[in-house]
Structure 1
Amino acid sequence: MAVYAYRCPHCSAIEVAFPIGTAPAAVPCPGCGASSARTFSAPMLTRTPAALSAQSRRAERSASEPEVVTSLPRRRAPGPVAAHPAARRLPRP
């Protein structure tokens, strides 16, 4: 069952459950009996996991206002040195 939104011209918004694909264009308002037209809205975007939502907001913010770094990242212990001399000039993590 899917929940469909309808708006009564006299009362307020109404939510009615119908099987998917069977919702009519209008239903009678349970309060006043007037014909309520179906409204379309975005799907339930609030059900996004909190961690994913926070990461998305952070990425959007950093596009225009990058975060300020207050300290340098820790350096790892140097790994094995490459045998090829050109590889020695490459940056290391």
Structure 2
Amino acid sequence: MAIYGYRCSHCSEIEVAFPIGTAPADVPCPDCGAISVRVFSTPMLARTPAAVSAQSQRAERSASEPEVVTSLPRRRAAGAVAAHPATRRLPRP
């Protein structure tokens, strides 16, 4: 079953499930009974990597419900230097 989008001129957009390839050009609106015409949209074929999806969902949640922090973030020790070779040329504090 595939989900097809239809737009009613009186109400709003609706989604109806039909077997693939059997969707009609128009269907009656379930709310007002007027004719709803089929709307073509891009298929959702691309898959988002899991890490990107998780970060996006976390950012959306934190916009309305910020995470509660119970302790301060850990800091590096004063003498600790990153292992990256480019940091060797940086001045020391």
- Give me the TM-score of the superposition, normalised by structure 2: 0.52
Q: Which residue of 2 aligns with 1:84?
A: none
Give, in angstroms, the shift of residue 47 of structure 1: 4.8
Matched length: 59
Give, in angstroms, the shift of residue 49 of structure 1: 2.6
Q: Show structure 1 runs of 5+ residues with no match.
A: 54-70, 76-93
Superposed CA deviations along residues 13-38 of structure 1, whole A, max 9, x for unmatched, are: 00000000000000000000000000
RMSD: 2.9
Q: Show structure 2 runs of 5+ residues with no match.
A: 54-81, 87-93
Give, in angstroms, the shift of residue 74 of structure 1: 3.7
Change (3 A) 1:46 1:13: farther
Larger radius of gyration between Structure 1 and Structure 2: 1
Matches within 5 A, 1:14-93: 14-44=14-44, 47-51=47-51, 73-74=84-85
Moved over 6 A (4+): none
Query: Among the aligned pairs, what percent are the same residue?
Result: 72
